[in-house]
Amino acid sequence: MFDSTALPLYISLAILVLATILGLYAIIQSTGERPDVERSLHLLDTEINAWARHKRHIEAEVPLHLQLLHAANPIGRRIVLPGSLKEIEEQIEYAGNPPVWNVENVLAMKVFSVLAGLGIGAVLALQGSANGMFLGLTVAVVGYEIPDLYLRNIAGARQKLIQKSLPDTLDLLTVTVEAGLGFDAAVAQVTANTGGALAGELQRYLQEKQIGLSSREALESLSRRTTVDELKSFTTALLQAEKIGISIGPVLRELTSEMRIKRRQRAQEKAQQVPVKILIPLILFIFPVFMIVILGPAVISAMEGPGLG
């Protein structure tokens, strides 16, 4: 006779049997698909191995000096203070990002200079030189500072070129804007027909706008890349004109007039410095020659006079 109290147990057993059958069926079906999965895994493993071999081949082709630069870069970042690292990056920007003078190469030069100085000091000290280590430390310190000095020299010369060409470039911009072109079109015309450091900075301004920066962001970036006060005033005036909404033509005309006045003042200042600068060579080199020419014969005559008597 059927016991109704055992019904839940029978249902549970039936569900368990059905689940077992379905699981076995899925396993059996998956065995037919395993070759495809294994083939995919094999292809993936082949691609990974090929990529690893290609990477090792590329690394093997890297020249030795580049491998040394890459190895020295982490050491350079440890021996350079964070403030000095930021200053190096700024000087590279001011210098126009020369191809060779990037942060990695500058840090590597510092590391190699320090190692060379310490090596020279150690060799001289082992040979019994009393001042060997001092000489090595001197070489290390001087070599550590030489890249910074050279970068500052390049950056300063480039900023002087920007300052010198700014009034003429502003004249061209003023003429083209007043002829009816927009500011960006006028900048494109100026960069296409001129050259030099300032034209390169204006070309970079246009490139930054092409990649999605706004006019304000591109002008602020231009201002950060220079130490020329006149160029900073130029970007500030353009930002104010854009913010207020006034025409750029009169602003450029006023800036051009102001730049020429400042250039004239700088020329007058340099002219006033000429007498002071010429005084030292005059005293050291010119006056002694005059004294020899004027007093030389008299001294010779005085020396020969008693003998003749």
Dump pLDDT digits (tens) for 196-231. 889 989 999 999 999 988 889 999 999 998 999 889
Q: What single letter denotes the amino acid at residue 142?
A: V
Instruction: Express each pLDDT in 24-40 by its tens digit.
Output: 444 444 444 445 545 55
Q: Position of tokens 């090929």?
A: 50
For the chain, domains (ranges, CATH) are 66-158 (no CATH), 160-270 (1.20.81)
Taking residues 232-251, report their average pLDDT. 86
**4 pLDDT above the threshold of 60:** no
| The model scores a pTM over 0.85 | no
Of 186, 223, 183, nearest in space to 201 by CA:
223
Residue 66 burial by CB count (10 A; 0-12/13-18/19+): exposed, middle or buried?
Answer: exposed
DSSP for the chain? ---GGGHHHHHHHHHHHHHHHHHHHHHHHHHHHHHHHHHHHHHHHHHHHHHHHHHHHHHHHS-HHHHHHHHHHHHHHHHS-HHHHHHHHHHHHHTT--SS--HHHHHHHHHHHHHHHHHHHHHHHHTT-TTHHHHHHHHHHHHHHHHHHHHHHHHHHHHHHHHHHHHHHHHHHHHHHHTT--HHHHHHHHHHH--SHHHHHHHHHHHHHHTT--HHHHHHHHHHT---HHHHHHHHHHHHHHHHT--HHHHHHHHHHHHHHHHHHHHHHHHHHHHHHHHHHIIIIIHHHHHHHHHHHHHHHHHHHHHH-
Give the per-residue pLDDT at 305.
Answer: 64
